[in-house]
Structure 1
Amino acid sequence: MTHPPATTVRADHPLQGIAWMVAGVFLLSVMDALSKHAVSQLSIPVLIAARSAMVLCLLLPWVLRSGGWSALRTRRAGAHLLRGLLAVCSMLAFFESLRLLPLATVIAISFAAPLFMTLLSVPLLQERVGAHRWGALLAGFVGVSLIVGPQAMDGELGLGAGLALVAAFFYAASMTCVRWLSPTESDLAMLVWQNLIMGLAGAVGLFFVPLQVAEGMWPVIACMAVLVLLGQRCTFRALRLAPVGVVAPFHYSELLFAALFGWVFWQEWPGHHVWWGALFVVGAGLYTLWRERSRKLVGG
């Protein structure tokens, strides 16, 4: 069966693309809120192993429709292993930071991931970063320091903020590996191998923690697995319907959703320094998107 080329649906429907992006971000924000609840009830290895297993179960029909094992064959097993281990480190740090910080603060710090991706693209992908992007990068890290700084100086935020930054760094490294792998590996293969490695890492962790699942948590874990796949599917659809520069800024609505969920469920509200810092980080991201779009228009 043939499929129409992606260009037939690319950049034609900006409003639909924005709607899909906001929907995807909302679903992922709900998953993050469920994660904050889950880490208060479960050990992190149990959560990682159980969620990864459920994601693999949900991916199984896609694998079978795509030809089974042949769709997952790869000559780059080492690269998949590296990416999977980076994702494990990111998730370990992210989940632990959720125990210590308000949800919106963790999400605001996680916006540093694109900044780390820019840094990593230079040594790992030999990409050229011009003066404008370096300026945006510096502004973004100023924003991160505003988020982390005031309470970290008092020793109140240090560990949680450090873990959130570590999570952002490892996530950025994992996503940089996606770009490295994408010329030869399919989206399906990368999803399956990542979740398989994460599941195995979580299973190893079960030897060191009690294997206990609190009553009522299995539906929560199942919802997390469904939400992460639906959220990613929505964002992929958004990027097919509209240019990156149109839909990507709406990813930052995640901070608003996180603040709302934190306020409703945990009576958390980020301090002023978090909002000011997020303004710098988001501004740096938006400027980078605008700059890249301008370069493409000039080049085209």
Structure 2
Amino acid sequence: MLIAMALSGNLRGALWMLASVAGATGMTVFVRQLTPELHTSMIAFLRCVVGLAFLAPLLLKADPAALLRVRRPGLHLARGALVALALNLGFYAIWKLPVATATTLFFLAPVFSTLLAPLMVGEHVGARRWAAVMVGFLGALVALRPGMAPIDLGAMAAVGSSLCFAVALLLGKTASAADGPDSVFATTALLTVALTLPFALLEWRLPGQAWVWGGLLLLAAASSLRGYADIRAFAAGEASFVAPVSYLRLPSVALAGWLMFGEAVDGWTWGGGAIVAGAALFIALRERTPRAARVAPPPLGG
């Protein structure tokens, strides 16, 4: 009976993670489709505005004053700024790079988190995880193949986005310990609207076509699905069972890029993506605690 219950939980977790993969794939596709009509900074801002509108009923249902009455406001502000910057850099990378290459470089976020954890949160990182960090960066080099292909601003933006998300994740852990994950979730949603606005003002142009607004709604919905499904996946199943499913994002995005944009994926990208994903998965499994219940970190909003 207990085995059946555990299996059921793991299967539910895997299904939620598949929903997260679908949300992440949809988000990537919608960003790319909107770039001929809007600058990526406008897309990031409007995505945050629409996303906040989706979340408003949940935030208002709780006690908004309590959620925003935080003890570590500096941490929340820094996290919001990093998420806003990460969104802008990530959307720019999706615009400029083949979507599969951008996705491969986004997998560096947990690798950066491991690299920075000893400095930022005092976490011990063993030799095996340090080796996984090195392997992860090697995979990124394989995908970028420096010396064989130019490393452009899009690639640097993707790496920068992953770094910003990694630091934001670590700040989120500290802020959650002080103020609770709900407060981190609420302040990030509000701050990303305010802090993506300056970037958007540089390229300000509201959509004039109905389908563009529809695309923004779908983008926000896909992003919200990804964040919510991530939380439900790790709440339902064991991390060791659920985490590998998340790396189906690369073949999913690659297939979407081929079908929607005619982007063929070469062997370097597949190889580099497999190396980075393997390193990130190893890190995730090494970080798994023996506790029966594992609390997922608050979503980053990306």
- TM-score greater than 0.5 by the shorter chain: yes
Q: 2:154 aligns with which of 160, 182, 188?
A: 160
When the two structures are superposed, what TM-score results if normalisation uses the length of structure 1?
Answer: 0.89
- 1:47 deviates by 1.6
1:279 paired residue number: 274
Q: Distance in 1 between matches of 2:69 and 2:8?
A: 35
Q: Distance in 1 between matches of 2:114 and 2:122?
A: 11
Q: 1:180 aligns with which of 158, 166, 174?
A: 174
Structure 2 letter corresponding to 1:95: F
Q: Distance in 2 between matches of 1:294 and 1:246?
A: 13
Q: 1:197 aligns with which of 187, 191, 204?
A: 191
Give 5+ residue unaligned stretches, structure 1: 1-8
Structure 1 letter corresponding to 2:179: E
Contact in 2 for aligned 1:10/1:239 (Cα 8 Å): no
Contact in 2 for aligned 1:11/1:243 (Cα 8 Å): no
Q: Distance in 2 between matches of 1:175 and 1:38?
A: 27
**What SS is found at the alignment partner of 1:183?**
helix
Q: Distance in 2 between matches of 1:296 and 1:13?
A: 15
- 1:10 deviates by 8.3
1:208 paired residue number: 202
2:283 is the alignment partner of 1:288: yes
2:140 is the alignment partner of 1:144: yes
Q: Distance in 2 between matches of 1:257 and 1:236?
A: 20
* Cα displacement string for residues 235-283 of structure 1 (whole angstroms, at most 9, x for unaligned residues): 2111111111110111101001100110011000221111111121122
- 1:194 deviates by 1.5
Q: 1:255 aligns with which of 227, 233, 250?
A: 250
2:120 is the alignment partner of 1:124: yes
Q: How does 1:35-114 map to 2 (within 5 A)?
A: 35-114=31-110
Cα RMSD for the two superposed structures: 2.1
Q: Distance in 1 between matches of 2:276 and 2:178?
A: 33
Q: How does 1:2-21 map to 2 (within 5 A)?
A: 13-21=9-17
Contact in 2 for aligned 1:10/1:240 (Cα 8 Å): no
Q: Distance in 2 between matches of 1:296 and 1:193?
A: 29
1:170 paired residue number: 164
Give 5+ residue unaligned stretches, structure 2: 293-302
When the two structures are superposed, what TM-score results if normalisation uses the length of structure 2?
Answer: 0.88
Q: How many residues align?
A: 287
1:242 paired residue number: 237
Contact in 2 for aligned 1:110/1:167 (Cα 8 Å): yes
1:22 paired residue number: 18
